[in-house]
Structure 1
Amino acid sequence: MALVAMLLVPGVALAGYTGSPDIEVFAPDNTLEPGAETTLAVQLTNAGDSRQVNFRSGAPSTPSADQQAQVTTARDLSVELESGSAPVDVKTNEIALGALQDGGVTDAEFRVSVHEDAEPGEYRLPIDISYRHVESVDYTGEVLDRDDVTEDEYVTIEITDSARFEIVNITTDAQVGGTGPVALTMENVGSAEASDATVTLQSMSGDVTFGQSASTSRYVGNWSADGRQTVRVQAAVASGALTEPYAVQASVQYDDEDGVTTESQPLSTGIVPEPEQEFSLDADESTLRVGREGNLSGSITNRGPSTAHDAVVVFSPSSQNVNAQETEFSLGTLEAGESAEFSVPVEVSQNSEPGQRQFAFQVQYLDSDDDQRQSSQLNVQADVQPQRDRFDVRLENETLEAGQTRTVTLLVTNNGEETLRNIDARAFTDNDLSLPSDTAFARQIGPGETTELVFELGAGADAIPDRTYSFNVDFQYETGGETQLSDTYSVPVDVTEPTDSGGLPWGIIGVVLVVVALVGGALWYRSRS
């Protein structure tokens, strides 16, 4: 009141400038879609006004830039958007913007969610604008009055007929450490058709890729309102990945009804890989022996979760002392939970040591997409027995009289685990023994079986009784379709005194001669006496 009174009193030399901000609001991109949540940018401009009051001689007729700024700047500017009667929800609270000078422009961004059932059309959203400003200053720039202002404005939005998309379902058969299909079903829940639509999937994790890339696209063509489309792509899941959801985003690029190319907002979903394909190995039997060929037998079980087609177990020798005649054994198709037996022939060299050994296997198979896959390494422990002769050889009767030749029976036992066939035996000697018949033959000898081979064996007249001599024998035989030659075996023979054969009783004669000599000596001694 005092200021007003001063202005009304004649002769008071008060001169200055007055003015105010003029805030306008506008949404440059105001097109929204039903069901969409997006950012609505509201632009605010200030077209302030200032003028001189109570002109005084000598005072400037127009305010200076500083004086003009004082009365036209909106300070502590804030805005709050409301939904009013529009089918939208405003997710953002009041926004503080600071100071906005005359001629200035600033933006306020609000998150807005449009109702699913929103009818197309134009709507006005109330927006509350609050600020402070200097109402008047004198010609020196001293503030004479301030004002707090609240204004109600409106922002116009347009909800349009448009295509809009939702994810209905996503599934995958891709396993950890493998590949598999991903099926994504989406629905156009909007009110308009999408033309020339393309769906793009983007993986948000390096553990899930589409081929060699993080993203892939599929063309689906025209997409009617309320229509569904299913796209199928191949995904690869890294070894060591978890069987937990991995984030994937899906978006649709399409032409709207006006032919304008549009891209939908990314929609987030997740895919859960299947567990890694697993197999187990059980070693049922081992006939491995140092210096021999044996078999390592066992069973492979498919632990799932998927069927393994055309499965093959592959043996990987880990030592130069182990040689596999065949490294692969077919298992056929194994359903989850199904097992198959295998047997791998393995030769252990003479340089190897007996005892527990670890052997490595791997399963190779085709997955449901006919892609070649392989399991992780499967290890098994098996015993390698000490070295043992192929044959056990001994005479049925190990004695032979000096000067005697007779038929002897050689007992030959197969110490191995395989049947031996076409066994040719050859005997030889280089001492006082002789072999008039030095070869023998057996059709076959089964594992652990003993057969009899007959030879003619003689001891020379010069052979010393009560002494052990020997002759040698080796064998040529067939096993596993191959001909092999055995080591040489030494067969001991005990030479004995020859028994009486009906000639002169030289022992008795000798005794008699001794007695006669003693009697004759006694008589001669008496005659001398």
Structure 2
Amino acid sequence: MKRTLLVVLVVGSLLVSAVPAVALTSNPDLRTVTPEPNLAPGGINEVSFQLLNDPDGPDDDTRTATNVRIKPRDTGRIDVETGELYVSELPDGDPADLSLKLNVPANLASGTYRIPLDLTYEYDNGAGSATERKVTRYVEVRVESGPRFTVVDTNSTATVDGRGTLELTMRNVGDTAARDSTLTLSTSSPDVSLGASESSTRFVSEWERGENRTFTFDAALSDAATAGNYSLSARVDFEKPSGTVGETPSLSVPLEAHPEMTFAVSELRSTLSIGGSDTLSGTITNTGPMTAHNAVVEFNDTPTASAVGGGYAVGSLAPGESAEFSFRVNVAENVDAGPKQFGIRTAFRNGNGDQLRSDVVDIRLQVGANDPGFEIRGVESTLRVGEEGTLEGRIVNARDDRVRHAVVRFEDPGPTVTPIENTVAIGDLDPGEAANFSFDVEVTSSSDAGPRQFDLSVSYRDRDNAARASGAIPTRVPVGPGTAEFDVDPVDGNLSAGSGGEFRVTVTNTREYTVSDLSAKIYTDSPLSTSDDEAFVDELEPGESTTITFQLSAAGGATEKTYPVQMDFQYDDEAGDTIISDTYQVPVDVTTGSGGLPITLLLLVVLLLGGAAGGVFYYRRRE
């Protein structure tokens, strides 16, 4: 009986082992694998992971998971920036490659962290219907020890269409110090530049754990920028104490763009007139967001109007603060009277010391007709060509108010007329009051005699103590013909043909000042000649006369008539300047004699008589 049971068991065993084994079919079992789990604190990290459908047992068949939905959840310290993920089907052995964006705080302690994933999926249960299942899986990540950095604070002074600074404060919140760290700040906006480029760097040799560092960058905003916040990117490359190197993820750095620096102009007062130099005053107000340091209000010069003496310094203006300004503005004579548009702008320095200028503020001003406000009366002149004379007259205040510190100005008269002094101070004038003025004026010898028109003007201070100037006052002045420096008269102007001798001339100084180092010279033409053509006088007072002597001869064949001898003078005037006079002509009368023998005939007779006398003497000695 026992043997029969044993045979049955053995046979049964053999029968079972001879039948092929049937593979088991398992339901889906989802898992995660993270190839690179390391995180860099202080920014956004993108972590790649795989989702696998792989239950226990490598020889088992696994049903395909479909409609897989993955919902990541925050851990409390790490924020997940990625929303829901979806995989249509996940068969056995064919993983899905997915990724998560994780916002990792810079002060996150080193260690391992698990990011929860809420999974929902479906599968065929083998009975012809779908089964839905919900599970939670985790993506494991790791934070290694080392330096980590965070942005603590920023402060910007940059304005639209201007420059400024960005102060960036960062802290090492890691668990070790950093060595040889390089901070790189960069911008991707075309409206923002850092210095002269899109990025700027700073170096720190030792950055201790918990230490704050503040960096200052030059920042500029284009005129196309808008007020508000711009986002810059920062990255720190560093070396750990162990000698290994690392870098932070991109850190977001806010840059506040302040509104453009603007200024308002109000309370304008002006007395501008055509061809005049008048006062423009008003009030400038800083309507921008920052203090304008060392502000200077400038008149925007045009071809028809320009400020005298540059801008008006008003000092520093805080936002909302105002200051008064005043210009003296010259208006051209070719401008029509009426309302005109001009411009005011402000030059200033920002808090970083950069020199900036505001946009031009348009202003509308009334330009009056040319009314100098003064009259010239009683003009008298002793001006002569080639001489120094006097222009005198009276200036009358034709305005309705008193003027103070009035000065009459002789405007540029041209190259042939030169006032010795071009201003005369006449003091204060009440309405209708007049005062005398006088200018010493030199007229060159190249000038023409006749009536000339000169421009006089008056500068003064008005009742508001503002500096003003009238327009040009045309003044008609006669210029007489020039007079000779000297009177020249021959003492004896007769000379016989074929003879010579002294030629004496009386010279009289007709100038109103003493001349010195007077050198006279004569010039002759045939038949006259000279063997001594220069004479010198040490000094000649006004109206004084002296006689100077030359040697003069007339050729024997000269025709009996009057010949000119030319003479000029070189002398020093009262200022010590050396002057060459005009050329004078002195008449010389040449006569041929009455009934006498010509000089050549007389010489021939003398020679013949001498020869005869010599012959007689020789004859007598032979006897």
Q: TM-score range by the shorter chain?
A: 0.5 to 0.7
Letter of the aligned partner of 1:315 in structure 2?
F
Q: Which residue, out of 37, 42, 50, partners 1:30?
A: 37
Q: Does 1:364 align with 2:344?
A: no
**Kept after mapping to 2: 8 A contact 1:81/1:90:** no
Most deviating of 108-117 and 259-268: 108-117
**Kept after mapping to 2: 8 A contact 1:161/1:191:** yes
Q: Does 1:421 align with 2:384?
A: no
Unaligned segments of structure 2, at least 5 residues: 1-14, 379-392, 411-423, 437-450, 460-468, 478-623
Aligned to 1:505: none
Q: Which residue, out of 81, 94, 115, partners 1:104?
A: 94
Determine helix, strand or coil for the equivalent of 1:361: strand
Shift of 1:263: 2.7
Listed as ranges, the matches of 1:380-459 within 5 Å are 380-388=363-371, 391-392=374-375, 413-415=396-398, 419-421=406-408, 446=429, 448-451=431-434
Q: Does 1:228 align with 2:225?
A: no
Listed as ranges, the matches of 1:431-510 within 5 Å are 446=429, 448-451=431-434, 477=456, 479=458, 486-488=474-476
Q: Which residue, out of 336, 355, 362, partners 2:338?
A: 355
**Kept after mapping to 2: 8 A contact 1:358/1:381:** yes
Determine helix, strand or coil for the equivalent of 1:295: strand
Indicate how the Cα distance of structure 1 residues 102 and 314 shifts in structure 2: closer, same or farther if over 3 A, else same: same
Distance in 1 separating the partners of 2:81 and 2:274: 80
Determine helix, strand or coil for the equivalent of 2:257: coil
Determine helix, strand or coil for the equivalent of 1:272: strand
Indicate how the Cα distance of structure 1 residues 391 and 171 shifts in structure 2: closer, same or farther if over 3 A, else same: closer
Distance in 1 separating the partners of 2:103 and 2:332: 75
Letter of the aligned partner of 1:27 in structure 2?
T
Distance in 1 separating the partners of 2:93 and 2:210: 48
Indicate how the Cα distance of structure 1 residues 82 and 218 shifts in structure 2: closer, same or farther if over 3 A, else same: same
Superposed CA deviations along residues 167-194 of structure 1, whole A, max 9, x for unmatched, are 2111012222211111111122222323
Listed as ranges, the matches of 1:43-442 within 5 Å are 43-45=50-52, 74-76=64-66, 78=68, 95-110=85-100, 120-122=110-112, 156-203=140-187, 205-239=189-223, 241-282=225-266, 284-303=268-287, 305-318=289-302, 320=303, 322-324=304-306, 326=308, 328-331=310-313, 333-336=315-318, 337-349=321-333, 351-388=334-371, 391-392=374-375, 413-415=396-398, 419-421=406-408
Superposed CA deviations along residues 194-233 of structure 1, whole A, max 9, x for unmatched, are 3322223333543332134343332233322222111110
Shift of 1:377: 0.8
Distance in 2 separating the partners of 1:74 and 1:180: 61
Indicate how the Cα distance of structure 1 residues 193 and 80 shifts in structure 2: closer, same or farther if over 3 A, else same: farther
**Kept after mapping to 2: 8 A contact 1:90/1:110:** yes
**Kept after mapping to 2: 8 A contact 1:421/1:445:** no
Letter of the aligned partner of 1:378 in structure 2?
V
Shift of 1:43: 1.7
Indicate how the Cα distance of structure 1 residues 298 and 487 shifts in structure 2: closer, same or farther if over 3 A, else same: farther
Distance in 1 separating the partners of 2:330 and 2:181: 60
Superposed CA deviations along residues 263-319 of structure 1, whole A, max 9, x for unmatched, are 32333342323343233334654232234443333444444544444443333344x
Determine helix, strand or coil for the equivalent of 1:234: strand
Superposed CA deviations along residues 358-408 of structure 1, whole A, max 9, x for unmatched, are 22222223333332211211233322222336644789xxxxxxxxxxxxx
Distance in 2 separating the partners of 1:204 and 1:39: 21
Letter of the aligned partner of 1:324 in structure 2?
S
Indicate how the Cα distance of structure 1 residues 215 and 89 shifts in structure 2: closer, same or farther if over 3 A, else same: closer
Aligned to 2:540: none
**Kept after mapping to 1: 8 A contact 2:268/2:283:** yes
Distance in 1 separating the partners of 2:287 and 2:366: 26
Most deviating of 82-91 and 266-275: 82-91
Superposed CA deviations along residues 14-39 of structure 1, whole A, max 9, x for unmatched, are 99876557866421111246787644
Shift of 1:247: 2.5
Identity among equivalent positions (%) equals 26
Determine helix, strand or coil for the equivalent of 2:311: strand
Letter of the aligned partner of 2:169 in structure 1?
T
Superposed CA deviations along residues 97-143 of structure 1, whole A, max 9, x for unmatched, are 2333454232233455668886544467777877666799xxxxxx9
**Kept after mapping to 1: 8 A contact 2:370/2:471:** no
**Kept after mapping to 2: 8 A contact 1:77/1:129:** no
Aligned to 2:48: 41
Distance in 1 separating the partners of 2:244 and 2:162: 40
Indicate how the Cα distance of structure 1 residues 449 and 111 shifts in structure 2: closer, same or farther if over 3 A, else same: same
Distance in 1 separating the partners of 2:121 and 2:209: 46
Distance in 2 separating the partners of 1:305 and 1:352: 38
Distance in 2 separating the partners of 1:442 and 1:32: 86
Indicate how the Cα distance of structure 1 residues 482 and 251 shifts in structure 2: closer, same or farther if over 3 A, else same: same
Distance in 2 separating the partners of 1:84 and 1:282: 59
Q: TM-score, normalising length from structure 1?
A: 0.60
Distance in 1 separating the partners of 2:173 and 2:187: 24
**Kept after mapping to 1: 8 A contact 2:65/2:89:** yes
| Structure with larger RCO (C-alpha < 8 A, sep 6+) | 1
Determine helix, strand or coil for the equivalent of 2:228: coil
Determine helix, strand or coil for the equivalent of 1:486: strand
Indicate how the Cα distance of structure 1 residues 172 and 127 shifts in structure 2: closer, same or farther if over 3 A, else same: closer
**Kept after mapping to 2: 8 A contact 1:310/1:333:** yes
Determine helix, strand or coil for the equivalent of 1:288: coil
**Kept after mapping to 1: 8 A contact 2:42/2:104:** yes
Superposed CA deviations along residues 407-427 of structure 1, whole A, max 9, x for unmatched, are xxx98633367834389xxxx
Structural RMSD (CA): 5.0
Indicate how the Cα distance of structure 1 residues 254 and 108 shifts in structure 2: closer, same or farther if over 3 A, else same: same
**Kept after mapping to 2: 8 A contact 1:420/1:477:** no
Shift of 1:235: 0.8
Shift of 1:73: 6.0
Indicate how the Cα distance of structure 1 residues 482 and 163 shifts in structure 2: closer, same or farther if over 3 A, else same: same
**Kept after mapping to 2: 8 A contact 1:415/1:447:** no
Letter of the aligned partner of 2:175 in structure 1?
S
Distance in 2 separating the partners of 1:212 and 1:273: 17
Letter of the aligned partner of 1:312 in structure 2?
V
Q: TM-score, normalising length from structure 2?
A: 0.52
Letter of the aligned partner of 1:197 in structure 2?
S
**Kept after mapping to 2: 8 A contact 1:184/1:230:** yes
Unaligned segments of structure 1, at least 5 residues: 1-8, 52-67, 137-142, 396-409, 424-440, 454-471, 490-529
Determine helix, strand or coil for the equivalent of 1:245: strand
Number of equivalent positions: 404
Determine helix, strand or coil for the equivalent of 1:185: strand
Aligned to 2:509: none
Distance in 2 separating the partners of 1:274 and 1:280: 18
